[in-house]
Amino acid sequence: MARFDYHLHPDFSIDASGTVREFCEAALARGLVDICFTTHCDTNSAHAAEDAWVSVGGKVRPLSEPWLPDYLAEIEAARRTFAARGLRVRAGLEVDFFPGAARALDALLAGVPLDFVLGSVHRVEGYALSDRAGVRAWLERFGPRDALVRYYDLVGEAAGSSLFDCIGHLDIYRRSAGLAGEEQLALPGVMDAVTRALAALVQSGTGLEINTRGTYRAGAAHVSPGPVLLRLAAAAGVPLLTLGSDAHQPRDVGLGLDLGIAAACAAGFRVQHTFEGRRPQAQPLSAETAGDAVARSR
């Protein structure tokens, strides 16, 4: 049932390689039927020098220059080509969320014909949670308890903005820091922040992503979020769920999705979602939950 991959970085992202078409070919080879491209869109001016770049036709450009029309046109061309071969191709973005970003992002996303917008918290107080040195410095600077409370409160703010369909790779700090367990959640105050974040997701109708990048990258071997967090999310009633490999090259497309599905089922989720024009469609997680997806899509 691992047939949908909703987190793919083609070579528009400067840290990725492989064209939209090459990703589509890889998806077909893995038996996927519906994929969504989610190029990075990092607009935080405080980190523009590192993050705010995009590559178009092999040329690196500032993200502030017009590039979305080229991106959307390339995906539209692939959508037409690959529809006949049984692959639905969606246009999305992975948008970085940071404090105070809501108004600028609202303007940026308004009127852009996207299928899906994934919102991700990549930095807290400037520290990059997606790299090992960044996450270590962050934990050292604030201490694990304060660091995590700040992270989950920012996730709650992202959810509360209602800008996103789903929030990406919750607990990304575990992958970067090489933390196998979820003991950090038991630190005083952290669970309260988690509960607030999950409530914000439910209240705003925002979903979560299960990100499988940690399953095929060295040193982690787990999906994000971890099983404890995922169970809490399912119990809280988080309404939408996508799965994504976060592939940055065609050969990683679809990797780990079976583990993600197993994690979703174990946590108590019954369906996953695909998106078209920002509208979710419930899909079965497994053969056993196929009936649930049909019932919920009515």
Residues at the site binding Zn ion, with contacts judged by CB under 5 A: 94, 120, 246
Question: Minimum distance from CB of 244 to Zn ion (Å)?
Answer: 8
105-128 burial string, b = 16+ CB within 10 Å, else e? beebbeeeebbbbbbbbbbbeebb
**Cβ nearer to Zn ion, comparing 37 with 270:** 37
**Cβ nearer to Zn ion, comparing 217 with 296:** 217
Question: Minimum distance from CB of 297 to Zn ion (Å)?
Answer: 27
Question: Minimum distance from CB of 16 to Zn ion (Å)?
Answer: 9
Question: Minimum distance from CB of 290 to Zn ion (Å)?
Answer: 29
**Cβ nearer to Zn ion, comparing 90 with 270:** 90
Cα–Cα separations (whole angstroms), residue 129 to 12, 32, 34, 133, 179: 22, 30, 29, 9, 13
**Cβ nearer to Zn ion, comparing 176 with 283:** 176
Question: Minimum distance from CB of 166 to Zn ion (Å)?
Answer: 12
**Cβ nearer to Zn ion, comparing 120 with 212:** 120
Question: Minimum distance from CB of 97 to Zn ion (Å)?
Answer: 10
What angle (nearest 5°) sits at the alpha carbon of residue 89, between those of residues 85 and 94? 155
Distance between CA atoms of residues 162 and 207, nearest Å: 10
Q: Which residue is nearest to Zn ion (CB)?
A: 120
Question: Minimum distance from CB of 163 to Zn ion (Å)?
Answer: 15
**Cβ nearer to Zn ion, comparing 157 with 270:** 157
**Cβ nearer to Zn ion, comparing 156 with 214:** 214
**Cβ nearer to Zn ion, comparing 145 with 178:** 178
| Token pair in block for residue 285 | 């997680």
Question: Minimum distance from CB of 7 to Zn ion (Å)?
Answer: 6
| Token pair in block for residue 110 | 């308004």
